[in-house]
């Protein structure tokens, strides 16, 4: 699932292409929006909220989309071929005279009143890359369930918005605890929140997501400590990185959880 930095970048691309311009084409290819036509309206802004995208248009409307596992928004110049996937995967087309934004495989696409955005994002915790960021509130929410595994707590967007599987694994590595360590037993919990903020801010404009230190990168090309490195040597201690498959969240999909059994202390997956 795209993480907060990826969604932030998508919002910037869409905002740069659409904001301040009148739509000359609107094609929303989901049954509930089949009769909706936003052509003629000006796009006001495109704002990320956690992993959600809010495209606001004049008249008090917001087009809400969520990328989940496979969704993507692509921006094209006039006449350029659309290469984001086959035509049957297109869910939305928003075009101005100069740019065309195409949404592929969007599992969530709905139109709502801008004043009712809280209905879809009001449950989210403080946004790591948003103007509502509140480190104290994020920490309070994490500590509210002390018996919960820290990995699960970090992934819960109701605690703090923007962390996905990659950043969760990397943050647990930096905190030197396994993802299954109860929040109450994570001595570094107060450092995790500002660390999460630093990591997402450092990557919000980067093409290559990076969590490793400059010292590690000076002797290695790897940009992540443990994520995606199952069976390979830990960049710090050399121990093979381990992986477990777990089901997270309501969508019920299994996601890999990575950790170093030497650098990270605490319980492991049952």
| Secondary structure of residue 78 in the 3-state scheme | coil
Q: What is the pTM of this model?
A: 0.91
Q: From CA 157, how far away is CA 178, in angstroms rounded?
A: 20
Q: From CA 119, how far away is CA 105, in angstroms rounded?
A: 23
Active site residue 51: yes
Q: From CA 268, how far away is CA 177, in angstroms rounded?
A: 10
Q: From CA 178, how far away is CA 246, in angstroms rounded?
A: 14
Active site residue 197: no
pLDDT at position 218, please? 85
Active site residue 255: yes
Query: Which listed residue (49, 51, 91, 99) is catalytic?
Result: 51
Query: Which listed residue (56, 99, 197, 255) is catalytic?
Result: 255
Q: From CA 128, how far away is CA 141, in angstroms rounded?
A: 14
When mean pLDDT is compared across 15-19, 29-33, 65-69, the lowest value belongs to 65-69
Do 172 and 228 fall into the same domain?
yes
Q: How far apart are the first and last CA of the chain?
A: 24
Residue 127 lies in a domain: no
Q: Assign 248 a pLDDT band (cuts: 50, 70, 90).
A: low
Query: Which listed residue (3, 91, 141, 204) is catalytic?
Result: 3
Token pair listed for 105: 């495989």
Domain ranges, residue 110 = 4-122
Tell me which of 76, 98, 122 is where a domain ends.
Answer: 122
Do 166 and 242 fall into the same domain?
yes
93 to 27, 74, 80, 210, 224: CA distances (angstroms): 5, 10, 14, 32, 35
pLDDT at position 269, please? 83
pLDDT tens by residue, 157-190: 999 999 999 999 999 999 999 999 999 999 999 9
Q: Assign 253 a pLDDT band (cuts: 50, 70, 90).
A: low
Token pair listed for 141: 């929410």
Stretch 76-85: mean pLDDT, rounded? 95
Do 147 and 93 fall into the same domain?
no
Do 139 and 115 fall into the same domain?
no
Rounded mean pLDDT of the chain? 94
CATH number at 140 reads 1.10.8.50
Query: Which listed residue (2, 48, 126, 149) is catalytic?
Result: 2
One DSSP character per residue, 97-113 reads: SS-EEEEES-SEEEEEE
Do 116 and 162 fall into the same domain?
no
Do 233 and 193 fall into the same domain?
yes
Q: Bridge-partner residues for 265, per DSSP?
A: 177
Q: From CA 132, how far away is CA 144, in angstroms rounded?
A: 20
* Site of tokens 């996601």: 255
Domain count, the chain: 2
Residue 268 lies in a domain: no
CATH number at 56 reads 3.20.190.10
- Percent of the chain scoring above 90 in pLDDT: 89
pLDDT at position 252, please? 45
Do 165 and 76 fall into the same domain?
no
Do 96 and 148 fall into the same domain?
no
Do 199 and 88 fall into the same domain?
no
Do 149 and 43 fall into the same domain?
no
Residue 266 lies in a domain: no
Residue 170 lies in a domain: yes
Q: Is the pLDDT confidence value at 270 over 80?
A: no
pLDDT tens by residue, 189-232: 999 999 999 999 999 998 889 999 998 888 888 999 999 999 99
pLDDT tens by residue, 85-101: 999 999 999 999 999 99
Residue 36 lies in a domain: yes
Residue 250 lies in a domain: yes
Active site residue 110: no
Q: From CA 49, how far away is CA 158, in angstroms rounded?
A: 12
């Amino acid at each position: 699932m795209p993480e907060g930095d990826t969604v932030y970048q998508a919002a910037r691309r869409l905002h740069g292409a659409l904001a301040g311009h009148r739509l000359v084409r609107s094609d929303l290819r989901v049954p509930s929006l089949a009769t909706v036509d936003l052509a003629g309206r000006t796009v006001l802004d495109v704002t990320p909220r956690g992993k959600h995208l809010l495209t606001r248009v004049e008249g008090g409307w917001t087009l809400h989309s969520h990328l989940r596992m496979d969704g993507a928004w692509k921006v094209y110049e006039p006449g350029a071929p659309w290469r984001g996937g086959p035509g049957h995967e297109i869910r939305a087309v928003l075009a101005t005279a100069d740019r065309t934004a195409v949404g592929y495989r969007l599992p969530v696409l709905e139109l709502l009143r801008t004043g009712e955005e809280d209905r879809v994002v009001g449950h989210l915790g403080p946004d790591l890359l948003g103007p509502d960021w509140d480190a104290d509130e994020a920490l309070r929410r994490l500590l509210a369930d002390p018996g919960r595994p820290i990995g699960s707590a970090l992934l819960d967007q109701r605690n703090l918005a923007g962390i996905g599987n990659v950043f969760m694994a990397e943050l647990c590595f930096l905190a030197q605890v396994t993802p299954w360590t109860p929040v109450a037993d994570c001595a570094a919990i107060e450092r995790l929140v500002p660390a999460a903020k630093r990591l997402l801010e450092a990557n919000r404009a980067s093409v290559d997501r990076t969590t490793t230190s400059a010292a590690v990168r000076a002797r290695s090309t790897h940009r992540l400590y443990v994520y995606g490195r199952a069976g390979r040597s830990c960049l710090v201690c050399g121990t093979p990185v381990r992986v477990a498959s777990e089901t997270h969240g309501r969508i019920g999909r299994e996601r890999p959880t990575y950790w170093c059994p030497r650098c990270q202390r605490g319980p492991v997956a049952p």
